[in-house]
Amino acid sequence: MSILVAPSILAADFANLERDVKMINSSEADWIHVDVMDGVFVPNISFGMPVIEAIKRHATKPLDVHLMIVQPERYIETFRKIGADVITVHIEACTHLHRTIQQIHATGAQAGVALNPHTPINSLYDIIGDIDLVCLMSVNPGFGGQKFIERTFSKVKALKQMIQQVGSKAKIEIDGGVNSENAPQLMTAGADVLVAGNFVFSSPNPGEVISRLKNQ
């Protein structure tokens, strides 16, 4: 399977959101990554339901919604209703993770679990067979433009081994600091989905950058 690319809309020009969503539509990108931050779980606030509804109106690619929020179970049905195709919650924010995964699947969305850089992958062992996606944070969540954490490579390899051992179908998504320099090594380690924000949107030709990531 070729690598999936999910440009992060958090790095887009919010005054020209429709333009940037349509750029992603016409590019080789596979998903649109949408970061929801509440200012509590992470020290930043991004956007909420009205903005996601607006993105969905123009998007032709699936919305990969990453909930960096406390008590995500309160909003699962709402995010699905406004257009989320993949809903990812943080293991650190869920007291009853298995129940939340069931809740996401009950809406018809794919269920993902995100891990902060300090969280060991073995915390996923008892849930890995039930989820569709693992999002490994390769920066500390909350802000774009951070430096990639090198330890991520070994975490990807170990997670890939766990997935194969258990017989899970979960994809491995890397979120944070992804660029054309580390993308090949991430793919070799076992990554399936690359999230890229500033690397894409700071380029004068974002579509070309997406194509380069897609065709490493």
Give yes or no: 30 in active site.
no
Q: Which amino acid is at 24?
A: I
Domain of 123 in residue numbering reads as 4-214
Q: Token pair 């309160």 is at which residue?
A: 74
Catalytic residue among 35, 38, 64, 132: 35
Residues composing the chain: 216
What pLDDT was estimated at residue 1?
61
Q: Which residues in the chain show pLDDT less than 70?
A: 1, 143-145
Phi-psi region of 177 (alpha: psi -120 to 50; beta: other; left: phi over 0): left
What pLDDT was estimated at residue 6?
98
Give yes or no: 35 in active site.
yes
pLDDT tens column, 162-204: 999 999 999 999 999 999 999 999 999 999 999 999 999 999 9
What pLDDT was estimated at residue 126?
96
Q: Judge contact between 88 and 135, C-beta under 8 A.
A: yes
pTM: 0.96
What pLDDT was estimated at residue 144?
65
Per the structure, the count of domains in the chain is: 1
Quick one: which H or E segment has residue 90? strand 84-90
Catalytic residue among 30, 38, 64, 175: 175
What pLDDT was estimated at residue 2?
86
What pLDDT was estimated at residue 15?
95
Cα angle: 140, vertex 209, 79; to 5 degrees: 50
Enumerate the β-bridge partners of residue 195.
6, 175
| Domain CATH for 169 | 3.20.20.70
